[in-house]
Structure 1
Amino acid sequence: MSQTKSSFRYSGHETFVCRYAWLPKAVTHLSDGRNAKLFSDEDDAMVRLGVGKNMVRSIRFWAETAGVIESLGDSKGYAVSPFGRDLLGHDGYDQYLEHPATLWLLHWKIATNPTGPIYQWVQMLNHWHRAEFTEAEAFGFLKKNLPAKSQSLSDRTNEDGLRVFINSYIPTRGRKGEVAEDNLDSPFVELGLLRRSGERTDIRTGQRELIFSFAVEEKPSISPALFAYCLNDFWQNEHANEQTISFGAVAVGEGSPGQVFKLPEAAVRHYLDQIKQTTNGALAFQESATLQQVTRSGKADAFDFLENIYVSD
């Protein structure tokens, strides 16, 4: 997933953050195989899903981005993906998003979608390297880094995408400081990945701006098994033809667990020290005075990384 990639998605969420019920709802309504056209007939979907037309489109966007549904192509509609079935299906591991690992897992899937990456997610999680940012600073950064083929993207669309990114991880507040109702239902707020860290005055406009910062710290709710799943996923997305990858790639590479979860290098090393035991040898960390790398054995193809998250808890 390169920073210069031109296949980014910039819209489709209809400015709505993903909500708790949406992904399970999409999987449930597509599970019997008879409703493949659910998202094609928006009027029917409004009735079935109990939401407005824009929300129907947003549910489809988030469910597809999170990898729980997939397009059948040729206008055939959508179906539940194997990942969506195993995670959120009737007999899935966590149908109602109750396990602490599930929100991290869905955050991972959204942030690293290999076929339709969201521009603001990729840029802010992987390429913003300063400790803090304001909305204006982040917007300037996003505008500056647009791929050549996307230079005509409107400021409004870019700004909307940035606000959806921020509001996905931190609740908005009204004038009196109340949390806005629309964001109480954003599951990723629980992750604590993004924080308000103060305010400052914009020297150009004189207006007060909120300051945000990523929580770069150990995250106990990310289990060794979850880290292993995501590392294997990263391997398949970014290093599919390689038998080894470096510690640096795992810790700070674009789309890596270290970057997407905002983990300090010490925490990444801690997970890697356990990874051979966690995966029964499918993955292993080798470290010496001159070498720090992870290896992937033939066992990885048969190892059920997703099941391991939920059975090892």
Structure 2
Amino acid sequence: MAYGRHESFYLRNKWISKGLKHVNNMPTFFYEKDNFEKIGLGKNMVRSLRFWLMALNLIYEDNKTHKLTPLGEVIFEKDRLLEKQSTKAILHSELLNNLGDTATVFNWFFVDFKETIITKVELKTIFKAWVEIREPKAVSDKSLDRDIDVLIQLYTKEADENDPEDSIFSPFTSLQLIKEERMGNSSDVIRKSAIKYDKEDLVAFYYTLIKYANKEKVEFIQLDEILEHSELWGKTFNISKNEAIDILNKLTLDRDYPLEYVRTNNLDNVKVPQIEALEFLKVKL
């Protein structure tokens, strides 16, 4: 597990586009002494950007160079500005997968943490207690506090409506997975909520389903699995059973890759088309 590698910076708007562009043009970019001048960010922000690109499974490191992952290549080509809600939702799901064990707090909050409403103070206390049980060495309170702060900012930092040039908001805010309510002098309240998505764009839901089927080498997935597995919709997108059923019914009508949703003997099964997740994304994103 890892903590604080974001340098206390949440992901900013346009960072993904800038980062992928520079890595694509210069694989040694993050090892260049003047990289912060080339990209127009502070030195700590450049380190934070490298963390985000790797935590989101968009780049990987190889012998002091960085290269776009297959997912990074697709998003760089199709939607590097993250204009589609589905792209943001896919990257959110990748963050929770926590490849390389570098983004512990995000997986913990959405997958392991059961509460849907809590104060920020209580959230920090519970996270610290969880880490203390699992880590053989002590982790500083400041680092864990910053992890919770960045978690909340990543999903709640909005653009300034009065400033059309504002670029310090987070692209993940539009997912509305976390809501922060100000409570005056008392601690802020944090709410976990269902993902906001375009009902005509279900690519993120289908992608995570196909990716899971590829990984597990299965053709059928049960509805309960979709709701309870750490990599699927209930945990990742915080949606209810009724919402999941509604989405599945719509996916049976997909023109390119209709899935089969079979409800028999009180056992709901989904038959997933046999296609690689990235090939699906190249067609649908």
Q: What's the TM-score, normalizing by structure 2?
A: 0.86
2:149 aligned partner, one-letter code: R
1:228 and 1:278 in contact (8 A); partners too: no
- Give the corresponding residue for 1:278: 254
1:51 to 26, 41, 51: 41
Tell me if 1:212 matches 2:190. yes
**Segment drifting more, 253-262 vs 210-219:** 210-219
- Give the corresponding residue for 1:231: 209
1:126 and 1:254 in contact (8 A); partners too: yes
1:40 to 17, 31, 34: 31
Shift of 1:303: 7.8
1:219 and 1:263 in contact (8 A); partners too: no
Give the Cα separation in 1 of the matches to 2:151 and 2:200: 21
Give the Cα separation in 2 of the matches to 1:222 and 1:171: 26
Give the Cα separation in 1 of the matches to 2:56 and 2:173: 16
Give the Cα separation in 2 of the matches to 1:148 and 1:258: 25
Higher relative contact order (CA 8 A, sep 6+): 2
291 and 71 in structure 1: CA distance in 2 versus 1, 3 angstrom threshold: same
1:107-154 Cα offsets, whole Å, 9 max, x none, are: 222222333351111111112222301112111221222263355111
- Give the corresponding residue for 2:284: 309
**Equivalent residues in 2 for 1:241-260, closer than 5 Å:** 241-260=217-236
- Give the corresponding residue for 2:103: 118
Give the Cα separation in 1 of the matches to 2:260 and 2:167: 40
2:177 and 2:195 in contact (8 A); partners too: no
Shift of 1:163: 0.5
2:87 aligned partner, one-letter code: T
The structure carrying a bigger helix percent of its residues is 2
- Give the corresponding residue for 2:169: 185
Shift of 1:217: 6.5
Q: What's the TM-score, normalizing by structure 1?
A: 0.79
Which runs of 5 or more residues in structure 1 are unaligned?
A: 1-7, 201-206
Identical pairs, percent: 21
Shift of 1:195: 1.2
Give the Cα separation in 1 of the matches to 2:175 and 2:250: 23
1:225 and 1:279 in contact (8 A); partners too: no
- Give the corresponding residue for 1:296: 272
1:37 aligned partner, one-letter code: T
1:251 and 1:265 in contact (8 A); partners too: yes
Give the Cα separation in 2 of the matches to 1:194 and 1:132: 10
226 and 302 in structure 1: CA distance in 2 versus 1, 3 angstrom threshold: closer
- Give the corresponding residue for 2:153: 167
2:20 to 22, 27, 39: 27
Which runs of 5 or more residues in structure 2 are unaligned?
A: none
RMSD: 2.9
1:265-296 Cα offsets, whole Å, 9 max, x none, are: 11111122233443755743322133122233
1:153 aligned partner, one-letter code: V
1:143 to 128, 133, 155: 128
- Give the corresponding residue for 2:116: 131
